[in-house]
Amino acid sequence: MGKRRSFNLMYDNTLDAFYPELWAQESLAILEENMVIGMLVHRDFENTLARFGDTVNTRQPAEFTAKRKGVSDDVTIQNVSATNVPVRLNQLVHTSFLLRDGEETWSFKDLVAEYLQPAMIAQARFVDRVLLGQSAQFLGNGAGKLGGFSSSVAKQYILEARKKMNVNKVPEAGRNLIWTPNSEAEALQLDLFISADKIGDNGTAMREASLGRKLQFDHWMSQNASSIATDSVDTVAGAINLAAGYAAGTTTFTIDGFSAAIAANSWITIAGDMSPLRVVSTVGGATPTSVTVSSPGNNYAVVDNAVVTVITPGAVNFAAGYAVDYDGYITYDGFTNAPEAGQLVTFGTDPTSPIYSIVEVTSTTMLLDRPLEAALVDNEAINPGPSGEYNFGFTRDALALVIRPLAAPRQGVGALSAVVDYNGLAMRATITYDGTKQGHLVTLDMLMGVKTLNSSAGVVLFG
């Protein structure tokens, strides 16, 4: 991500491996250099101990309005006030590993390479996935077409995203665009990004395959950006049924060709538009003849007989259901193809329910980008979003990553612990001895919350 922060650590073989300050300091250095979006959003940090579930207030910057006055008029004084945004610290992110007896004699440098670096890369990946998953909150600001990204349309799509931000009056300074690996590979085929005579970087972009700043965006690639394969979704298809087709911005479409009901709160795409559209309601029951989707509707005009693809839901598979604020793995069934990490998902049939993103998934379980905002019952519908590339454009004030330090364990409980903070990040390192496993357990954890600050300051570039 950037220049490595040095903590002036000494890596000789005599260094005590069980000095928790070292683990905490070095973990922060590795975490910071491996995060992408985590270093670009608004970060709120105060060196005040907090507990899981606490609510803190971060601030959304105030907006001013320029006024005109006559020569003899008084100035108009505006209140300098920022909006308080409550953020729950409901994500306790950790990595733990066991140092077996005998390994404590290794040099700290070797222990970092063997354990700490992969542990912190995993933690950075998790934090970035959580933050990139918030792109689902900006679907109303969409540009481009799912499944349609190539080098031939890359510039057009970027300009559409830029236009969307310009219309939303997002400041030009500080705009970022994070690409999926697939989209970046297409964009790098453009001379706009790599031709030294066009960008004046003496060939650095060509040598390092970096995207740099183009068309008002600082461009980044993240392996954690949402890239959903076509075969990861189950679908059924029908078609638009209107000779004149539909203009952009339509929310109700006449359809035909379906032989089963389309559930509210599921997702569809329409050929020619290919943005994810959330179903509000349908007419026709088991043979739907009309479908209404959430505002703002389609981004591009669609023609008669354009294919309408419905993403088939799965279901929650847990008899007891899941309570509000549940933050663990959700068991599911009913999919022929398992969902993917990064895929957006909704639950139930209420089209105003929260939109989540999947950060981890197995063939039977999924972990969401944040704890549940509403309870789930057994067999409740799970509605995954469409396949494609979800590139995310934003400014710092679109999202907040709020971090507070955790308290060290009480003295006398047999734990060595330290809390270290740097550059808006905080890490707690705790070392205990496990007599059963015959080794020292090292746990590195951080307490955080994530919140959308300004829904106009982000755009999803579909590809």
Name the residue among 94, 76, 63 with its Cα closest to residue 456.
Answer: 63
Say how many C-beta atoms besides its own lie within 10 A of residue 176's C-beta: 20
Is residue 7 domain-resident?
no
Are residues 243 and 279 both part of a single domain?
yes
Is residue 11 domain-resident?
no
Residues contacting 354, CB < 8 A, separation 6+: 346, 373, 374
Are residues 32 and 130 both part of a single domain?
yes
* Token pair listed for 353: 């329910």
Predicted model pTM: 0.85
Is residue 8 domain-resident?
no
Rounded to whole angstroms, the maximal C-alpha distance in the chain is 83
Q: Which amino acid is at 298?
A: N
Is residue 69 domain-resident?
no
According to the model, what pLDDT value does residue 15 have?
Answer: 42
CA 52-54-59 angle, to 5 degrees, is: 125
Are residues 143 and 109 both part of a single domain?
no
Task: Quick: pLDDT tens for 132-188.
Answer: 999 999 999 999 999 989 989 999 999 999 999 999 999 999 999 999 999 999 988
> How far is the C-alpha of 44 from the C-alpha of 450, rounded, in Å?
10
**CATH code for the domain of 302:** 2.40.30.240
Backbone angles phi, psi at 157, to 5 degrees: -65, -40
Are residues 252 and 352 both part of a single domain?
no
DSSP state of 406: P
> How far is the C-alpha of 154 from the C-alpha of 290, rounded, in Å?
33
Of the candidates 261, 285, 311, which is a domain's last residue? 311
Say how many C-beta atoms besides its own lie within 10 A of residue 81's C-beta: 8
CA 247-251-257 angle, to 5 degrees, is: 85
> How far is the C-alpha of 421 from the C-alpha of 423, rounded, in Å?
7
Q: Which domain holds residue 45?
A: 20-62+83-135+403-448
Is residue 1 domain-resident?
no
Of the candidates 386, 415, 432, which is a domain's last residue? 386
**How many angstroms from the chain centroid is the CA of residue 292?**
27
According to the model, what pLDDT value does residue 105 have?
Answer: 66
Are residues 56 and 88 both part of a single domain?
yes
Of the candidates 283, 311, 339, which is a domain's last residue? 311
According to the model, what pLDDT value does residue 126 have?
Answer: 92
Are residues 245 and 333 both part of a single domain?
no
Are residues 286 and 326 both part of a single domain?
no
DSSP state of 37: G
Is residue 339 domain-resident?
yes
Are residues 306 and 318 both part of a single domain?
no
Q: What CA–CA distances, in Å, run from 393 to 141, 178, 300, 321, 455?
A: 10, 6, 20, 36, 12
3-state secondary structure of 48: coil
Say how many C-beta atoms besides its own lie within 10 A of residue 260's C-beta: 13
Is residue 4 domain-resident?
no
Residues contacting 288, CB < 8 A, separation 6+: 238, 255, 258, 261, 262, 282
> How far is the C-alpha of 190 from the C-alpha of 387, rounded, in Å?
24
Are residues 276 and 307 both part of a single domain?
yes
Are residues 352 and 267 both part of a single domain?
no
Report DSSP letters for 124-164, one per residue: HHHHHHHHHHGGGGGTTSEEE-TT---TTTHHHHHHHHHHH
Q: Number of structural domains, the chain?
A: 4
Are residues 276 and 306 both part of a single domain?
yes
Q: In order along the chain (463 residues), what is the average pLDDT of each group of 10 residues?
A: 42 53 83 88 84 80 68 72 79 87 70 79 91 95 94 93 94 93 89 58 45 86 90 89 97 96 97 97 96 96 97 97 96 94 96 96 96 97 96 94 88 81 87 85 91 93 95
Are residues 252 and 157 both part of a single domain?
no
According to the model, what pLDDT value does residue 50 have?
Answer: 85
